[in-house]
C-alpha cells in the first residue's frame, strides 16, 4: 500500500458505519480496473496503482467514503492459483461485487469463483463489464448468468448506447431514471419515453422483489396494475440482496466508469452492515464452544488475521478483521493458531502478544488510530507470532476461529541453492515465505531433495521471484525425484565372501543367506538359522547390519530396498581374521550377489486421487487418468459436478495440477493421498536401472 495519498475518512463509531466489500472475478474480467474506478470516484486525486505480479496475486485493501459509510474495498486475485487469498477476502468481507466479462462469458473458472461465494452465502452484486467489445451482448450475458447462477440473477439496470457498441450510461429499472456518463459527469434524468428493453426486465424484477418480500397485498396491487412505491420496492430489493437471495446485475465500464455510481449506491443501501452478516463460529483453544461472537464493540474481542506480508526490513504487516469487541493500541492479546491438518511450518500455538500501532486504510494510504471496533478491517505492524488464519482475542477470554479452508498445494517444485552463500540464506527465506503464504508447503522428497509444494505454475513463479527479488536468494530448479523403492520379486540364495590375506592382520567372513519377498508393506525381517556356530554369535548382528546398509543403498537403481526377509543359514569364520567389519562386508556382498534383473524390481508410489470437475469434462478427465496408467475406481455426481476416484502413480502426477486445469478449463480440482507401493512396469524399471548404471 502507498503512503502518498490521503483521503477523508468516516469516524467509525458503530459497525453500521462500515461496509466491507470484496471484488471477485476471473483474471482479465476487468475486476481490478473496476476497483480503481470505484476509488477514483470517491478518493480525490487518486490516479491508480501500478499493476504488477505481486499486486495481482494478493488480497489488496483500500477504502473510500460514500454517503455516510466507510467502505473497505478488497480486491481478490482472480487466478485459480491464488484461491487461498480469495477465501481470505471472503472471510474478511460481508458482501461481494462479482465481476463478469460480457466479452468472455462464464467459463468453468468463473463458475468456481461463484461457488466459493455461494459456499459462504455471501451477498453479491454482479458487475457486467466489457459490453463495448464487438461480440458482447447484454441480453445474452444475462441469460447465460441466469442459466449458470440461477433465477435470482436479475438486472436492476440496463445499458444505454451512444453508438453501436459504445456504452453511454444505464437506466435504473425501478426508478426509471437514465444515468448518462457521456459528458464525463453523471447526468440523471427521468425516462420520458417507453423503452421495450426496460420493460423486458422491469416486470420480472418487480415480481421477484415482491416474492422475496412475501407480501401478498403488494402482489395483488401489482397484478391489478397499480403504481407501486419505488422506495418500498428498493427497500425490499436491498433486503433480498443482503440475504443472498437476489443478485442485481449492473452494466459497467471499467474503462470509463459507467455504472460506478450505481454500484456505490447499491453498496450503501443494499449490502449488509457487519452487524447483519453472521460472524464465524468461535471456540476456546481447547475446542469448547463459545457464544457466536456478536458484532458489538462492547463484547469480548475476537478478531482474525486475514493475510500477512513480510518485508526484509520493515518486518510483518498483518491485515486483521475484527468480528467482535474493541481493539486498542498497546493491548496484550491472546494469539491462537490451530490448523485442521498438521503442518510443520505452522505448528499449533497459543501465546500472548502486545499490539503496537493500529492502522486503517484511508484511500490507499494507512493512518494510525488508537482503537478500532467490531466490523473494521485494520492493519497491525510487526506482530511477531501471529500468522494468517490466527485468532486474536482478549487474553482473559481466549478464543479460536477456525481458519478458512486452504487449497492443498499440489504442484511440486524441486529446488536447490545456487551457491553456498544462497544455501546459508535459503532456510530463513523459505520460513518467511511460509509465514506470508500459508498455501506453501516445504518437504523433503526423493534423494533428500528440497521440494516446494505450490498451487500452480503462477504461484511457483511468484515464489521464485520473491526469493530472488525480496530475499536475494538465487535457487535452481531440479527434476523432481519420485521416491521409488526396490524389492526382491523372487526367492534367491547367495554367498557373501569377504576374504583378504595381504600380510599382517587379515579379514575373513563368509555368510550364506536366503532372500524372499514379503507382501507390500512388510518392511524388513532378518532371521537367524545358523547352527553349529558356523557364524559366531557375536558376528550375527554384524551380518544383519551389513545387509541393512546395502538394502538402504539399493542394488538395481540406487533406491532403498523394502519388503524382504533375509535368512542367514550358514557361513564360515576365522579365529584370528574374522571381525565385525568383515561380516558387515560379507552381508553387503551377499545382497549384491543375490540381486539381478530376474530377482529384483522397482516399486513406485501410488496415490489415490479424487478429481472434481464439471460433468461436461468427465470423459476427458477419465481418459486422461487412464493415459497416466491410472486405475479408475469409480465416479459420482453431485449437482453439476462429477467426482472421479482413481489410483495413479506419482510418476504421472508431477504436473497434474497444471494439466487438469487445461483439461477442465480452469474449473477442475483434485486431492491426493498416498495409497501404497506397486511394481513398476518392466520397461520403466529397465530405464531407471540403465540411468543408474
As a whole number of angstroms, the distance between CA 337 and CA 353 comes to: 13
Please report how the helices 420-436 and 457-469 are oriented relative to each other, as an axis angle in degrees rounded to 10. 120
Q: Is 442 exposed, middle or buried (0-12, 13-18, 19+ CB in 10 A)?
A: middle
Dihedral of CA atoms 31, 37, 42, 43 in degrees, nearest 10, equals 100
> Within 10 Å of residue 605's Cβ, how many Cβ atoms?
18
Stretches where the chain sits below pLDDT 70 are 1-9, 502-504
Per-residue H/E/C for 61-83: EEEEEECCEEEEEEECCCCHHHH
Residue 136 near residue 166, CB atoms below 8 Å:
no
> Within 10 Å of residue 362's Cβ, how many Cβ atoms?
21
For the chain, what percentages of helix, strand and coil (3-state, to nearest 5) are there?
A: 30, 35, 35
Q: Where in 650-693 does DSSP place strands (E)?
A: 669-679
Q: Which domains does the chain have, with CATH numbers?
A: 17-270 (3.40.50.300), 282-401 (2.40.30.10), 411-478 (3.30.70.870), 485-598 (3.30.230.10), 602-692 (3.30.70.240)
Residue 376 near residue 361, CB atoms below 8 Å:
no
Eight-class DSSP state of 96: E
As a whole number of angstroms, the distance between CA 41 and CA 23 comes to: 16
Write out the DSSP string of 596-613.
-TTTEEEEEEEEEEEEEE
Contacts of 25 (CB under 8 A, 6+ apart): 31, 78, 98, 99, 100, 101, 110, 113, 127
In this predicted structure, what is the pLDDT of residue 8?
55
Q: Return the exposure string of 195-213: e unless at least 16 CB atoms fall within 10 Å of the residue's CB, then b.
A: eeebeebbeebbebbbebb
Angstrom distances, CA of residue 143 to CA of 151, 171, 197: 10, 19, 14
As a whole number of angstroms, the distance between CA 190 and CA 176 comes to: 6
Dihedral of CA atoms 465, 470, 471, 477 in degrees, nearest 10, equals 0
Residue 94 near residue 277, CB atoms below 8 Å:
yes
**Which H or E element spans position 236?**
helix 230-242
Dihedral of CA atoms 253, 175, 196, 191 in degrees, nearest 10, equals -90
Contacts of 634 (CB under 8 A, 6+ apart): 644, 645
> Within 10 Å of residue 321's Cβ, how many Cβ atoms?
27
> Within 10 Å of residue 223's Cβ, how many Cβ atoms?
10
How, if at all, do strands 349-354 and 332-337 pair? antiparallel
Contacts of 192 (CB under 8 A, 6+ apart): none
In this predicted structure, what is the pLDDT of residue 9?
63
Phi-psi region of 129 (alpha: psi -120 to 50; beta: other; left: phi over 0): beta
Angstrom distances, CA of residue 68 to CA of 8, 93, 265: 12, 19, 11
Residue 551 near residue 485, CB atoms below 8 Å:
no
First to last CA, the chain: 56
As a whole number of angstroms, the distance between CA 557 and CA 185 comes to: 73
From 246, 29, 275, 25, select the one nearest 131 (Cα to Cα): 29
As a whole number of angstroms, the distance between CA 461 and CA 411 comes to: 12
As a whole number of angstroms, the distance between CA 296 and CA 287 comes to: 23
- CB-side neighbour CA atoms (13 Å) of 232: 10
Residue 605 near residue 650, CB atoms below 8 Å:
yes
How, if at all, do strands 450-454 and 411-417 pair? antiparallel
As a whole number of angstroms, the distance between CA 473 and CA 478 comes to: 16
As a whole number of angstroms, the distance between CA 582 and CA 589 comes to: 11
In the structure, how many helices (H) and strands (E) does the chain have? 16, 36
As a whole number of angstroms, the distance between CA 204 and CA 518 comes to: 70
As a whole number of angstroms, the distance between CA 267 and CA 95 comes to: 9
As a whole number of angstroms, the distance between CA 174 and CA 156 comes to: 7
Contacts of 187 (CB under 8 A, 6+ apart): 179, 180, 181
Q: What sign has the CA pseudo-torsion 330, 334, 338, 344?
A: positive
As a whole number of angstroms, the distance between CA 682 and CA 485 comes to: 14
Contacts of 278 (CB under 8 A, 6+ apart): 292
Name 305's bridge partners: 320
pTM to 2 decimal places: 0.89
How, if at all, do strands 18-25 and 95-101 pair? parallel
Q: What sign has the CA pseudo-torsion 650, 654, 658, 659?
A: negative
Residue 324 near residue 299, CB atoms below 8 Å:
yes
Residue 69 near residue 18, CB atoms below 8 Å:
yes
- Greatest CA separation for the chain: 119
Residue 142 near residue 173, CB atoms below 8 Å:
no
As a whole number of angstroms, the distance between CA 594 and CA 655 comes to: 37
Residue 317 near residue 381, CB atoms below 8 Å:
yes
In this predicted structure, what is the pLDDT of residue 166?
83
From 606, 605, 632, select the one nearest 621 (Cα to Cα): 632
In this predicted structure, what is the pLDDT of residue 360?
94
Radius of gyration in angstroms for the set of CA atoms belonging to the chain, rounded to a whole number = 33
Amino acid at each position: 500500500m502507498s503512503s502518498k495519498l490521503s483521503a477523508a475518512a468516516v469516524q467509525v463509531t458503530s459497525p453500521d458505519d462500515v461496509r466491507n466489500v470484496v471484488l471477485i472475478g476471473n483474471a482479465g474480467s476487468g475486476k481490478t480496473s473496476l476497483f480503481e474506478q470505484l476509488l477514483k470516484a470517491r478518493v480525490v486525486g487518486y490516479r491508480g496503482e501500478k499493476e504488477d505480479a505481486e499486486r495481482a496475486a494478493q488480497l489488496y485493501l483500500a477504502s473510500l467514503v460514500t454517503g455516510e459509510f466507510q467502505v473497505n474495498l478488497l480486491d481478490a486475485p482472480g487466478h485459480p492459483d491464488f484461491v487461498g487469498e480469495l477465501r481470505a477476502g471472503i472471510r474478511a468481507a460481508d458482501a461481494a461485487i462479482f465481476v463478469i466479462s460480457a466479452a468472455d462469458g462464464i467459463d468453468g473458472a468463473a463458475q468456481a469463483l461463484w461457488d466459493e461465494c455461494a459456499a459462504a452465502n455471501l451477498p453479491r452484486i454482479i458487475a457486467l463489464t466489457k459490453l463495448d467489445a464487438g461480440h458482447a451482448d447484454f441480453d445474452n450475458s444475462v441469460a447465460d448468468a441466469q442459466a449458470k447462477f440461477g433465477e435470482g440473477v436479475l438486472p436492476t439496470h440496463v445499458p444505454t448506447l451512444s453508438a453501436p457498441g459504445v456504452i453511454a450510461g444505464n437506466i435504473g429499472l425501478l426508478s426509471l431514471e437514465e444515468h448518462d456518463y457521456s459528458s464525463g459527469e453523471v447526468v440523471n434524468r427521468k425516462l420520458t419515453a417507453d423503452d421495450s428493453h426496460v420493460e423486458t426486465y422491469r416486470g420480472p424484477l418487480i415480481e421477484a422483489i415482491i416474492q422475496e418480500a412475501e407480501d401478498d397485498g403488494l402482489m395483488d396491487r401489482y397484478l391489478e396494475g397499480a403504481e407501486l412505491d419505488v422506495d418500498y420496492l428498493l427497500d425490499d430489493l436491498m433486503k433480498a440482496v443482503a440475504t443472498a437471495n437476489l443478485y442485481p446485475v449492473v452494466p459497467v465500464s471499467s474503462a470509463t466508469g459507467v455504472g460506478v455510481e450505481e454500484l456505490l449506491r447499491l453498496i450503501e443501501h443494499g449490502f449488509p452492515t457487519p452487524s447483519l452478516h453472521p460472524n464465524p463460529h468461535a471456540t476456546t483453544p481447547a475446542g469448547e464452544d463459545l457464544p457466536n461472537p456478536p458484532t458489538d464493540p462492547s463484547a469480548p474481542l475476537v478478531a482474525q488475521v486475514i493475510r500477512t506480508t513480510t518485508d526484509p526490513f520493515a518486518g510483518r504487516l498483518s491485515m486483521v478483521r475484527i468480528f467482535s469487541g474493541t481493539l486498542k493500541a498497546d493491548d496484550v492479546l491472546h494469539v491462537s493458531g490451530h490448523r485442521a491438518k498438521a503442518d510443520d511450518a505452522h505448528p499449533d500455538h497459543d501465546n500472548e502478544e502486545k499490539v503496537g500501532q493500529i492502522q486503517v486504510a484511508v484511500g490507499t494510504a494507512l493512518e494510525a488510530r488508537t482503537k478500532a471496533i467490531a466490523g473494521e478491517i485494520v492493519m497491525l505492524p510487526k506482530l511477531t507470532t501471529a500468522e494468517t488464519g490466527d485468532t486474536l482475542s482478549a487474553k482473559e477470554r481466549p478464543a479460536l476461529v477456525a481458519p478458512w479452508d486452504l487449497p492443498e498445494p499440489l504442484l511440486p517444485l524441486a529446488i536447490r541453492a545456487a551457491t553456498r552463500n544462497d544455501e546459508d540464506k535459503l532456510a530463513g527465506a523459505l520460513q518467511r515465505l511460509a509465514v506470508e503464504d500459508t498455501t506453501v508447503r516445504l518437504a523433503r522428497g526423493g534423494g533428500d531433495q528440497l521440494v516446494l509444494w505450490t498451487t500452480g505454475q503462477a504461484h511457483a513463479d511468484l515464489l521464485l521471484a520473491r526469493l530472488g527479488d525480496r530475499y536475494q536468494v538465487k535457487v535452481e530448479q531440479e527434476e523432481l525425484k519420485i521416491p521409488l523403492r526396490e524389492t526382491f520379486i523372487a526367492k534367491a540364495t547367495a554367498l557373501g565372501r569377504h576374504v583378504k590375506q595381504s600380510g599382517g592382520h587379515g579379514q575373513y567372513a563368509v555368510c550364506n543367506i536366503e532372500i524372499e519377498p514379503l507382501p507390500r508393506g512388510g518392511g524388513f525381517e532378518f532371521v537367524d538359522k545358523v547352527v553349529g556356530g558356523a557364524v559366531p554369535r557375536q558376528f550375527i548382528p554384524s551380518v544383519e547390519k551389513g545387509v541393512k546398509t546395502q538394502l538402504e543403498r539399493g542394488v538395481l537403481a540406487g533406491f532403498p530396498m523394502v519388503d524382504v526377509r533375509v535368512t542367514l543359514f550358514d557361513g564360515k569364520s576365522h579365529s584370528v581374521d574374522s571381525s565385525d567389519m568383515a561380516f558387515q562386508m560379507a552381508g553387503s556382498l551377499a545382497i549384491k550377489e543375490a540381486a539381478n534383473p530376474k530377482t529384483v524390481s522397482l516399486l513406485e508410489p501410488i496415490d489415490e486421487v479424487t478429481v472434481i470437475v464439471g460433468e461436461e469434462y468427465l470423459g476427458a478427465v477419465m481418459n486422461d487418468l487412464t493415459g497416466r496408467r491410472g486405475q479408475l475406481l469409480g465416479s459420482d455426481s453431485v449437482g453439476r459436478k462429477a467426482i472421479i476416484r482413481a489410483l495413479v502413480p506419482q510418476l504421472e502426477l508431477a504436473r497434474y495440477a497444471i494439466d487438469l486445469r487445461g483439461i477442465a478449463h480452469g474449473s477442475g480440482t483434485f486431492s491426493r493421498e498416498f495409497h501404497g507401493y506397486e511394481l513398476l512396469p518392466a520397461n520403466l524399471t529397465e530405464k531407471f536401472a540403465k540411468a543408474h548404471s
